[in-house]
Chains A and B, each alone.
Chain A
Amino acid sequence: MESREEAIYNKSLAAMALVGFLSFLLLSIYRKPVDFLPFYGALAFLTVVFIGYFFTGWVIANSDKFLLLISSFLAQLGLIMLCRINLELFKRQVMFFGVGVAFFILVSFFTKYLLKLKIAPFFYWGATVVLLILPLLFGVEKGGAKNWLVFGGFTFQPSELAKVTFAFYLAGALKNGRITSFPRMIAEILAVVGLLTLSKDLGGAMLFYFTALIVIFVATSRIDLFAVGGGLFAALGVLGYNLFDHVKVRIEAWLNPWQDVPGRGYQIAQSLFAIAEGGYFGTGLGLGRPDFIPAVATDFIFSAFAEEFGFLGAAAVVLMYFLLVYRGIRIALRLRENFEILLAVGHTVMFGMQIFTIIGGVIKLIPMTGVTLPFMSYGGSSLVMSFASLGVLNGLWQRALEDEDDDEA
């Protein structure tokens, strides 16, 4: 069985390398004069993938290759689009990818030690809050949300790291399968969500809120709490709609983008035009017009991808994200300690919610909120922290296998 899996992994790795070579060679002749920079970038990228793939197999005996391969493939598709949109961003993203894979290996290696420390959930909550307050005090504003920190030419988005600490907090607080102190839990979660709302990161607020809700449901299996939480969300949504102008703008642009195409509805209308232009097979790499879509390198990379790779390409991406989430759930099912199960569920749900929020946003299924598409969007913090999350999942997978070996002995 092992060797059969190995063979499948190797075949996928070959397919991935082939996709990379073909598209980056094509992109090298896309601009006049011919510039082989995309090709060299692809070589660097694939080198990192191969080193990461074989190195993790060597350092960590039972590393989950599935996670690394599928995330690298998604990162590669993102890089293809970035390279086509903006070479400068492409160069930086290849570098971030290298850092991300390094983080993946480090975190998967150190997770078991972190689990042994048994840090109280309150500290994780404290860390989350500090991470979210920092940008409010010293941060700079980018694209409507004030959630960036600047250290001498290098910007960092602490809310990405807060996702990891928040998952740790939830797992720790709920590890006994019930809520020890109800008012305290609500206050702690609402404080985190409130801080995100203050920095105008509505997508982030929604993400954290639903992750908390789902992890609580998994831990306590109480559907009533889930229903109350959903109701509360609807109430908060209505309140936000009436209180904050930017919420109102977002929701109106979602309900009817055609009312004000040059203004409020511009982003979403352009995104829909691009997706429609793609059809089933897409316009072909380099033949679409993604430059019309605002924020195409970050929030709207999925629309650009759907335009040039068509509905089939976009559906493949959605399926790949589905497989990633499936793998996370599988890891959670194999674990035994409550804390570890909830940690795996927390990270997986965070991924799933984020993917749903942004893809749903760009195809006008739900109101558009500015979260990044993990692995595909341009953004160092997002990419590196997504890999760190996967590292935690990989570390938990080691734990699951360790437990099973203990029982065998």
Chain B
Amino acid sequence: MYELLAQVLKFLLIGLIYYFLYNFLKLMVLDLYEERRSPDETGYCLRCEDGREFPIRRVTTIGRAKDSDIVIDDPYLSSKHAMIYRRGRRLIIQDLKSTNGTYINGRRIKKPVALKEKDVITMGSRKFTFLRREDRGVERGSDL
């Protein structure tokens, strides 16, 4: 009697153990999916004086070089001028040893600095404002 019961139950128990495991693997997949999905859109942008908006990705490079994420054709900018990257949920700006330097609110930065909303970034002769993108923009971005 006991033996029969144990024999039947062993399949059931293994099934249940794997069901438990399956749930946790699903959690892990959800987790990784979330990690992969969110990074590209940070929800912030740089607004140029002429009103153009440049979205900021997980890693955004700024410079004269054609392969920069934000290409700015300005003789005062270096070809690889600065970089904005995400760390946790903070966005950090780093000057890439540019000739004319990068200024945050009028102060030249040497080390990487965390950006706050409405910071004014000056590179060469251009001024940019660091802004949170409007909800509309974020939605459109996540549809892509």
Q: What residues make up the interface of A, taking CB atoms closer than 8 Å to B? A: 1, 4-5, 8-9, 11-12, 15-16, 18-19, 22-23, 26, 29-30, 66, 69-70, 73, 77, 281-287, 308-310, 312-313, 316, 319-320, 323, 326, 330, 334, 336, 400, 403-404, 407-408
Option from B2, B19, B24 in Cβ contact (under 8 Å) with A323:
B24
Q: Is the CB of A323 within 8 A of B25?
A: yes
Residues of B within 8 A of A316 (CB): 14, 17-18, 21
Interface residues of chain A: helix, strand, loop or mixed (majority): helix
Size range of the interface on B? 20 to 34
Q: Indicate which residue in B17, B24, B34, B87 contacts A313 across the interface (CB closer than 8 Å).
A: B17
In the complex, are the beta carbons of B3 and A287 less than 8 A apart?
yes
A309 to B11, CA, bound (A): 9
- Please, could you name 17 A-B residue pairs with CB atoms under 8 Å apart, sorted by A? A8-B23, A9-B23, A9-B27, A12-B23, A12-B24, A22-B16, A23-B13, A30-B2, A284-B7, A284-B10, A285-B9, A287-B3, A287-B6, A309-B13, A320-B21, A323-B21, A407-B88
> B14 touching A284 by the CB < 8 A rule?
no
Residues of B within 8 A of A408 (CB): 89
B55 nearest CB across to chain A (Å):
18
Known: A319-B21, A336-B87. A4 touches B6 (CB 8 A): no
User: From B34, which residue of chain A is reached at the shortest CB distance?
Assistant: A1
B14's partner among A12, A18, A310, A319 (CB-CB below 8 A) is: A310
The distance in angstroms between the C-alpha atoms of A264 and B81, with both chains bound, is 68
Interface residues of B, dominant DSSP: helix
Partner of B6, one of A5, A8, A66, A284: A284
Contact B9 A284, beta carbon cutoff 8 Å = yes
Q: Number of contacts between A and B (CB, 8 Å)?
A: 102
B144 touches A (CB below 8 Å) = no
Residues of B within 8 A of A23 (CB): 9, 13
A308 and B11 CA atoms in complex are apart in Å by 11
**Contacting residues of chain B (74-111) with chain A, CB-CB under 8 angstroms:** 87-90
Contact between A11 and B24, CB atoms less than 8 A apart: no
Q: Is the CB of A285 within 8 A of B21?
A: no
A287 partner residues in chain B, CB cutoff 8 A? 3, 6-7
- B 16-44 binary contact with A (CB < 8 Å = 1; else 0): 11111101111110110010000000000
Q: A70-B24, A308-B10 are in contact. List 20 more A-B contacts (CB 8 A).
A: A1-B34, A5-B27, A8-B27, A15-B16, A15-B23, A19-B13, A22-B12, A22-B16, A23-B9, A26-B5, A281-B14, A285-B10, A309-B17, A312-B14, A312-B18, A319-B25, A323-B25, A330-B31, A336-B87, A404-B89
- Asked if B23 and A313 sit within 8 Å, CB to CB, the answer is no
Bound-state CA distance A66–B31 (Å) is: 12
**Which residues of A have CB within 8 Å of B25?**
319, 323
Known: A316-B18, A323-B24. A281 touches B10 (CB 8 A): yes
9 smallest CB-CB distances across A and B, nearest first, come from A284-B6, A284-B10, A12-B23, A15-B20, A407-B89, A404-B89, A19-B16, A316-B17, A407-B90
Residue of B with least CB distance to A16: B20
A101 to B28, CA, bound (A): 23
Query: B1 — nearest CB in chain A belongs to which residue?
Result: A29
B16, B21, B23, B27: the one contacting A18 at CB < 8 Å is B16
Q: In the complex, which residues of chain A have a beta carbon less than 8 angstroms from the beta carbon of B7? A: 284, 287
Q: Which residue of chain A lies nearest to B24 when distances are taken between CB atoms in the complex? A: A323
Taking a contact as CB atoms closer than 8 A, the residue among B5, B20, B88, B89 that contacts A73 in the complex is B20
Which B residue sits closest to A26, measured CB to CB? B9
Docked pose: A404 CA to B38 CA in angstroms: 14
Inter-chain CA distance A17–B6, complex, in Å, is 18
What's the least CB distance linking B5 to chain A, in Å? 6
CB nearest to B18 among chain A residues: A316
Of B10, B20, B28, the contact of A326 (CB 8 Å cutoff): B28
